[in-house]
Structure 1
Amino acid sequence: MRAVQFSRFGGPDVLEVVDLPTPQPQAGEVLVRVHAVGINFFEVLMRGDRYAVTPQLPMVPGVEAAGVVEAVGQGVDKGLLGTRVAAPLFMSKRPYGGYADYVTIDASLAVPLPDALSFEDANALLVQGLTAFHLSRQSPPRGKSVLVSAAAGGVGSLLVQLARRDGASRIIAVAGGTAKLDLALSLGADAAIDYSEPDWMAQVKEATGGAGVDIVYDTVGGLLTAASLQALAPGGELVFAALGRYAIGASDLEAMIGRNQSLRGFALLPLLSPGAINASLSSLFQLAASGALVVPRGSRFPLEQAGEAHRLLEERRSTGKVVLVPQMP
């Protein structure tokens, strides 16, 4: 089978297509022919050895996939053959390997897809959908004004909609460029502000009548985190979900204490169990299949153009979910 791997750290050009043996499903597993695999920004960081954890090389990235069950291992119901499923590889004993024609995963982790939900959209609801889903439950937005960073991205576009469904009083979307701001507004944001403008923090305060926001959902990190603190209301909460990209100093923390503000960390994996992930994904899939949750379409690339897909994310030119489509016509 074809797979995309990198054998050294570096730019997008280190990603190469190689031939690897097709995996065989072991007892309790299914073999899934991949129709779409999601690309996440943390994989861009891993490729450059800029992530919190250094992966072992060579590595085939890809922690989420969707496709059709083509074979089953011992003890697995043969009725699953031909079933359209999502494969949350990040929960499995082999948490990577999705940039390939085939993957194997424990049958209990393979979540059936509604007929109305595409493979590409299903990928957007795995890592990024679950992140948005649990962010809105760890720090509920009901009755509060919230700021969503990267609001046109995979997590942000879904979080804007979930915050609206969950009763946020005001949603401030932050993104870069007119197209992304327009997308956030179309998904339910009350105001959309370009963070490339030097006074964007003041614009957030103005959009909240000078009060600032009650919750900042920060999935970007870096310099945006410290800037977001200027838009946070006294007693507000900064929810930090940008693992490994810290830019808060001791002076920032001291200022937060003086304003009775709180910093809350967010890590997805500790919140998940096989039962919980199945229930959460089923809820997200049904919302999307019914049209109650819009999954903004991103760019599609064949396996051979994985480097171009990474470059698109790295240069922050993407909107919606970027996917590789091994079976691309």
Structure 2
Amino acid sequence: MKIIQIDEFGDPAVLKVREIPHPEIRADDEVLVRIHASGVNFFEVLMRRNCYAVTPPLPACFGVEVAGVIEAAGLGAALPVGSRVAVPLFAHGRDGGYADYIVVREAACIPLPDAVPFDAGVALQVQGLTALHAVRQTSPKGKSVLVTAAGGGVGTLLIQLAKQSGARRIVALAGSQEKLLTALSLGADVAISHRDDDWLAQCSATVRGDGFDVVYDFVGGDFGASLVPLLMPMGTLLFGALGRFALDTGTINMLLEGGRTVKGLALLPLLASGRLQQDLAELFELAAGGQIAPVIGERFTLDQAAEAHQLIEARASVGKIVLEPSAFSQG
């Protein structure tokens, strides 16, 4: 079978295709999953460059979220062969999803409804759960909200969930015309390019200078700091750009003086509640019923993993980027 592996850190060219033996079931509670779709994430780009908070041991095979079909099962497994499943490897401290097959414990598998394509089942894992917990942690109901990185995997889902939750006004920030149009099509009331020189003034004008009740920031750095003046007094900045928090003392004083709040959103601690299966099932049900529609920007074969990384690294991707073995079509 094929896997994508890195033996050294560096540019996308370090992602190499390897042929290895098929993994084998070694315990009664294990299943063999043939992967139809595997998610590609920005943090994997950072890990490939050794610029992430965690340095993976080499050689490394990325991929923390997959969806596919059970092809073989241990004697103690309840899910039958042929079951469509999503496997959130990140919730179990696993990776290795850039591959044709993976062996996991059956408990790691979550049934995927027939109405939810494999790529959507992947998009609703890291990004879907992040968006779901964002609206839970800071409710947009009846509020004016600003969504950064609105054309990305989290942003496209967050706009839809905020709309469903009753947000009064949703303003989307993104960096290309395609992303702005995508945000509007998903329910944003206004879409603004952060590449415009006067984007801050444009944002402020959408709420008549009163400020936003909630800013969902998944960019961070100096850009994230520039969003603080857009918050109304007592407003909330929900920060989800881990490792890129860069508020200086003056900006923090501005927050405090206005009674504003900063909340950090980290997905893994939220999964400790034991609600992972229920949360993903809820997202799958919403997708199956057409209430949310994950945006799949591009699909690549395993052999094209380097191209997928290049697209994400260039900030040119819209929605979710997935890898899928070329032998399969969506279904």
Q: TM-score range by the shorter chain?
A: over 0.9
1:313 aligns with 2:312: yes
Q: Deviations over 1:71-125 (max 9, x none)?
A: 1124212x521001001011124x1100001112221221111111110111110
Residue of structure 1 in register with 2:51 after alignment:
50
Q: Deviations over 1:221-257 (max 9, x none)?
A: 1222011112111211111111111222122112211
Residue of structure 2 in register with 1:107 after alignment:
106
Distance 1:168 1:195, change over 3 A: same
Q: Which amino acid aligns with 2:152?
A: G
Q: Which amino acid aligns with 2:134?
A: L
Secondary structure of 2:171 counterpart:
strand
Q: Give the superposed CA RMSD.
A: 1.3
Q: Which amino acid aligns with 1:163?
A: A
Contact 1:202 1:231 in 2 (8 A): no
Residue of structure 2 in register with 1:262 after alignment:
261
Structure-1 separation of matches of 2:135 and 2:84? 28
Structure-1 separation of matches of 2:139 and 2:51? 31
Residue of structure 2 in register with 1:188 after alignment:
187
Q: Which amino acid aligns with 2:282?
A: S
Q: Which amino acid aligns with 1:15?
A: L
Shift of 1:7: 1.1
Residue of structure 2 in register with 1:135 after alignment:
134
After the TM superposition, which residues 91-170 of structure 1 pair with which residues of structure 2 at under 5 Å, given as runs?
A: 91-93=91-93, 95-170=94-169
Residue of structure 1 in register with 2:221 after alignment:
222
After the TM superposition, which residues 54-65 of structure 1 pair with which residues of structure 2 at under 5 Å, given as runs?
A: 54-65=55-66
Q: Deviations over 1:36-94 (max 9, x none)?
A: 100011101110111111111111000000000011124212x521001001011124x
Residue of structure 2 in register with 1:9 after alignment:
9
Structure-2 separation of matches of 1:318 and 1:81? 35
Secondary structure of 2:286 counterpart:
helix
Q: Which amino acid aligns with 1:285?
A: F
Contact 1:76 1:107 in 2 (8 A): yes
Identity of aligned residues (%): 51
Contact 1:41 1:313 in 2 (8 A): yes
Structure-2 separation of matches of 1:145 and 1:157? 17
Residue of structure 2 in register with 1:75 after alignment:
76
How high is the TM-score relative to the length of structure 1? 0.96
Shift of 1:274: 8.1
Structure-1 separation of matches of 2:95 and 2:6? 13
Shift of 1:172: 0.7
Structure-1 separation of matches of 2:30 and 2:213? 45
Residue of structure 2 in register with 1:85 after alignment:
85
Give the number of aligned pairs: 327
Shift of 1:209: 1.2
Q: Which amino acid aligns with 1:171?
A: I
Structure-2 separation of matches of 1:326 and 1:221? 34
Structure-1 separation of matches of 2:306 and 2:256? 43
Structure 2 segments unaligned to the other structure (5+ residues): none
Report the more deviating stretch, 10-19 or 24-33. 24-33
How high is the TM-score relative to the length of structure 2? 0.96
Report the more deviating stretch, 267-276 or 2-11. 267-276
Structure-2 separation of matches of 1:24 and 1:241? 37
Residue of structure 2 in register with 1:234 after alignment:
233
Contact 1:109 1:274 in 2 (8 A): no
Contact 1:92 1:105 in 2 (8 A): no
Report the more deviating stretch, 52-61 or 223-232. 223-232
Distance 1:275 1:327, change over 3 A: farther
Residue of structure 1 in register with 2:301 after alignment:
302
Structure-2 separation of matches of 1:286 and 1:185? 23
Structure-1 separation of matches of 2:118 and 2:294? 12
Q: Which amino acid aligns with 2:266?
A: A
Residue of structure 1 in register with 2:197 after alignment:
198
Structure-2 separation of matches of 1:195 and 1:73? 52
Structure 1 segments unaligned to the other structure (5+ residues): none
Q: Deviations over 1:145-203 (max 9, x none)?
A: 11111111100000001001111111110001111111101101111110111211111
Report the more deviating stretch, 31-40 or 271-280. 271-280
1:286 aligns with 2:316: no
Structure-2 separation of matches of 1:216 and 1:263? 10
Secondary structure of 1:230 counterpart:
helix
Structure-2 separation of matches of 1:92 and 1:15? 24
1:272 aligns with 2:274: no
